[in-house]
Homo-oligomer: A and B are copies of this chain.
């Protein structure tokens, strides 16, 4: 009879995974207003990185708000819990050696700092997707600003809920004056400079 099955040797480490994949596990955290272009940048970046041979994964409203975080709303508490879970999730993907791209408004500095702490400084790139509120309101692809301005949606970031812009982001991209392709190239350049990719 096998009495004791427990040992801790042989755990596969993040470093081993990174060597195997020839890349570093890192979180690229896109923060910005609704309609600033985060998801578009994230998906374009993912496609570009993948086509270059890197293993990536995007965490955004499409796959998180409908799944893992489907039991959360938009109150300040739920927003905090939303970002806390995403930070933990991103950290797991980094541990798995994957270049993960997070695209959430993530309006509070405190939660973004928590995400950076969890990741460890060397594995976290905060990208401020900077776009003036007026431009976001003009774009408004899902009529969310219209509805928020009419009072039909409460706690909408930039309208009746705060957005705390990053004070020291690792990178700023300006989606009102640069195309998605240019923004993505800026991020790629940064990742190469910092030797996350070669």
Contacts and interface: CB of A to CB of B under 8 A. Distances in A.
Question: Is the interface on chain A under 10, 10 to 19, 20 to 34, or 35 or more residues?
Answer: 35 or more
Taking the full assembly, how many copies of this chain does it contain?
2
A5 B92 contact: no
Interface stretch (A9-17, A147-155, A188-196): A9-17
Contacts of A2: 175-180
Contact of A3 (B8, B67, B139): B139
Given A7-B40, A12-B56, A67-B92, 19 more contacts: A1-B176, A1-B177, A2-B175, A2-B176, A3-B135, A5-B175, A6-B37, A6-B139, A8-B43, A10-B47, A16-B50, A21-B55, A57-B92, A63-B95, A67-B88, A85-B85, A89-B89, A96-B96, A98-B98
Interface of A: 1-8, 10-12, 16-17, 20-21, 37, 40-41, 43-44, 46-47, 50, 53, 55-57, 59, 63, 67-68, 71, 81, 85, 88-89, 91-93, 95-98, 118, 135, 138-139, 141, 175-180
